[in-house]
A and B are shown apart, each in its own frame.
Chain A
Amino acid sequence: MRAPRPAWIWVPVSAGVLAAAMVVGAAAGSAGFGPLDAAAALLSRLPFSPVASPLNDLQFAVLVELRLPRVVLGAMVGGLLAAAGAAYQGVFRNPLADPYLLGAAGGAGLGATLVLAYGSDLLDSPRALVPVAAFVGALAGVAAAYLLGAVAGTGGTATLVLAGVAVSSFLSAGQTLVQMLRTQELRRIYTWLLGGLGRGGWDDVGMVAPYAAVGLAVLMVSGRLLDLLALGDEKAVSLGLNATAVRVAVIAAASLCTAAAVAVSGLIGFVGIVVPHIVRRLVGTGYRMILPVSLLTGAAFLVLVDIAARTAIAPAELPLGVVTAFLGAPFFVFVLRTTRNRAG
């Protein structure tokens, strides 16, 4: 296995890109003030600052309570999805694995759909329960796929992926059924399913943070283990690794990351599959590098995509999941093609 030293370079590079993306994200938006005004306004709040804020209270509220948390949330969601995607690809030794393959999206979608469709019968404000339901649904979806894969097959990764596909279709059929039964809630459900950060505030950042911390901590230390798994189970076991335990731990951590991201953002596809692909081309095949660089690149990617989503047709917004799919799908085909050419 190569551990190419130049690969390290991508950590500061991607961190730099992320920082730049976040600065642009904080400066760009439909409210009528420019980046310099935004910077001056933030500087003016520093103690003993000589700078006077050029923004009125309303604009300052927009900047601090809407735009900044949205940028932070975008970075968290993108980073979580990309890191989870990289981890799934490592566990399944399948470059096509992504956070949504194993029933996470289907489960989250069904959970959120159920709350949005029937929640108002039971509760005054079901909206608050949507992230919880999405979270529980995502974990349940992955658990179902894992159990089904273990029961139905030999426990190999191919069986698991196929079980995930089956569970996903089943869950999304359930979603569609609920939507058809509750057409009056269709728009709300649809809005959520398309994915977006439009309602994100510091509360959401706080909500995701603990799950993100736990999930990412596990993923970031599992890079070396994934590299060992890549040698093959027999080799890994001979090196003293409990392959099954590693798999379960990584799948659980990646699913936790996915669930946390999906809970606040709705369904945003393709980040988890495309970003690790790009990263793999840059840093090589070692997961010790792929995981952290995917985290940073995914974060930067989603911040940039969100800037596009909220400025392209401002003051209206594009659904984030639609933008990532538009960018992701063609790119993915391109990657598949060039990978094939190289191999052939």
Chain B
Amino acid sequence: MRSARRLPAVLLLAALTLSACGGGQEPADQDQGAASPGEGFPVTVEDGTGEVTIEARPERIVSLSPSSTEMLFEIGAGDQVVAADEFSNYPEDAPTTDLSGFTPSVEAVSEYNPDLVIMARDAEDAAAQLREVDVPVLLIPAAETLDDTYSQMRMLGEATGHAQEADEAADRVESELDAVVQETTEEVGEVDLTYYHELDDGMYSATSQTFIGQVYERFGLENIADEAEDTAGGYPQLSAEFIVDQNPDLVFLAYEGEDAVADLRGRPAFDSVTAVKNDDIVQLDPDIASRWGPRVVDLAESVSEAVTAAARER
């Protein structure tokens, strides 16, 4: 009851503050002239839906996507983030709130009085509402390739006034990832290993056409899910029969649960699979394995370890 009565007042206040900001903008920009923080603005960047113009350097960013939150902190825009969604749990000083990125609430977001909101691609309705009240919104699609990751970092850099740092960060992530891959291939040589990446115990997997599949591909691993390439947008549900018959050398579990590995071992017929026999089942950090942010290097390191271990057994 209490919050219900408070809400209209907050909204009104938010609207007033927003319009006040809009009105005061131009002289402020002129005053700053070539001064550093406002430099380069307004900028126009391309998000998942089209071109978005950001008039001034955003100082109150709300990020509703964990991948974007990680990127913002990586490129030095962390100080400008005032609120992040409930699953933005990294880095530690990310201002995690109970905001939902899955079902974004425009009212809840506007309470933070943001001057830039970053959302996942499927939140278009909420984005339209925010744009209506002149809050710039960037809709970030899920990365489909590693290159998408780097270009999203650069785009966020431009949008937040950290173009150069973002450039450097993207280059750094790319070269660190390349280094991990290169070291691994040098150590183990040409591997001829197959793998199965499991998203949950309903046996949903990811093909090489996905972001995660590309990471494995860099190591020369062959994905058993690729036979189902055309289904489910790269995330097919495989049959147990197919997985066992494919006999993968490596199994990666991208979900939590202390007994996840034991559960997999205990499934009917799975004890005949090479990866299970050789104990080459790797449980990945689910956050790292599902976010296309700077921590893709950590993911690559986990894969590298597993590949090295499996290659030594031969």
Contact = CB atoms under 8 A, between A and B. Distances in A.
Interface stretch (B69-77, B106-114, B225-233, B304-312): B225-233
A62 B237 contact: no
Contacts of A327: none
Contacts of A57: 272
Nearest to A68: B268
Interface in A155-211: 180, 183-184, 187-188, 191-192, 196, 198-199, 201-203
Given A30-B239, A315-B227, A316-B237, A61 B272 contact: yes
A46 interface: no
Contacts of B241: 29-31, 62, 66-67, 310
Contacts of A137: none
A227 interface: no
Contacts of A317: 203, 237-239
Contacts of A202: 268
A192 B271 CA distance: 24
Interface stretch (B142-150, B185-193, B251-259): B251-259
Interface string B84-119: 000100000000000010110000000000000000
B255 to A, nearest CB: 8
Most buried by A among B227, B237, B240: B240
Contacts of A69: 268
Interface string B239-252: 11110111100000
B236 interface: yes
A69 to B, nearest CB: 7
A16 B13 CA distance: 74
Which of under 10, 10 to 19, 20 to 34, or 35 or more describes the interface residues of A? 35 or more
Interface stretch (A119-127, A142-150, A270-278, A336-344): A119-127
Contact of A61 (B203, B231, B244): B244
Most buried by A among B204, B245, B247, B271: B245
A127 B259 CA distance: 10
B5 interface: no
A231 interface: no
A202 B227 CA distance: 28
A333 interface: no
B201 interface: yes
Interface in A93-144: 120, 124-127
Contacts of A316: 228, 231-232, 236-239
A148 B251 CA distance: 49
Nearest to B205: A316
Contacts of A192: 202
Given A31-B242, A61-B244, A199-B267, A191 B202 contact: yes
A239 interface: no
Nearest to A125: B259
A152 interface: no
A66 B228 contact: no
Contact of B200 (A58, A62, A191): A191
Given A313-B231, A314-B239, A315-B228, A187 B202 contact: yes
Interface in A60-81: 61-62, 64-67, 69
A50 interface: no
A62 B204 contact: no
Contacts of A191: 200, 202, 204, 237
B181 interface: no
B245 A59 contact: yes
Contacts of A120: 256-257
B228 A198 contact: no
Interface in B248-299: 256-260, 262-263, 267-269, 271-273
A32 B247 CA distance: 12
Contact of B239 (A58, A61, A198, A203): A198
Nearest to B86: A183
Contacts of A315: 225, 227-228, 236, 238-239, 242, 246
B199 interface: yes
Contacts of A30: 239, 241-242, 245
Q: Across chains A and B, which 8 residue pairs bring their CB atoms closest together, nearest first?
A: A191-B202, A201-B268, A315-B242, A31-B245, A316-B236, A125-B259, A65-B269, A316-B228
9 contacts: A31-B244, A58-B273, A61-B244, A180-B102, A188-B201, A191-B200, A201-B269, A313-B228, A317-B203
